[in-house]
Amino acid sequence: MIVTDQGESWRLITQPDHARFSGQLLRLWRDPELAEHPRRGEIVFAGREHDNGWREADAAPSWDGERGRPHDFQTLPPAPRIELWLRGTARFAGDQPYATLLVCLHALNFYRRGGDEAWDGMVETIERRRDELLETTGTDLGRALADYRFVRFADAASLAVCTGDREPFTDRVPADRRAVAPGVTAAGTPAAEREIRGRFDPETATLHLEPLPLAGATRFEIPIRTLPRRRYAGDADLGGELAAARWSRTTVRVAS
């Protein structure tokens, strides 16, 4: 769950809805590096489903008594977070192995082994899944990492919108379909990359991207719910309030 403070209320956006906006950005990518990519469909699918493991957690969010607010994607305790990442990197492995490979790379982009037995066990499991999916899809890690950069960019752009973060962000995406690794072609020569700069303006609800890589729609709607900002008695109290909360939508414009 993405929770933002609105003064007298909290605005809640589920991780799957944030990811769906990521997928919409990738689906409208107009430039050949993605628009004509042989695995475009799988890359877009991975963008849309990179946080699929949060479905169950966000359907029943928990109360953070220490901070006095609902748990969000950064404060959820280790046990349920490990469970959701293991679930999310396995859910589509049978039907969408290449997209699932990119989801595994997304998880491994954030988590590394660090001496904690539980976290290290999760990372080892996801690394094994990554390796199995590399073999299943007949691809190599360099190619998958190059493709993952589209998902990483869309995730960062969507997060800026959903969290209301004003900080500018930049990322580099392949601009050369011959890339088999970030910045490298099969011949070992440099592959062209393109830097995209982004910034979200909450006052105008506009995501600025330069250069603008999208075609088609420039307005998007993201589902939200709003809860009164108060101290809840626990998960059940929070869940009851959330169940009664009406869904609405926030409109976002994407422009250069």
Closest CA relative to residue 2, chosen from 52, 50, 58: 58
* Model confidence pLDDT, tens digit, residues 39-57: 999 999 999 999 999 999 9
Place of tokens 């066990």: 121
Average pLDDT over residues 117-142: 96
Hey, what amino acid is at 239? G
pLDDT band at 217 (very low <50, low <70, confident <90, very high): low
pLDDT band at 166 (very low <50, low <70, confident <90, very high): very high
Closest CA relative to residue 141, chosen from 153, 152, 150, 132: 132
pLDDT higher than threshold 70 for residue 84 = yes
Q: Is the overall model pTM greater than 0.75, yes or no?
A: yes
pLDDT higher than threshold 90 for residue 186 = no
Q: Domain spans of the chain?
A: 2-255
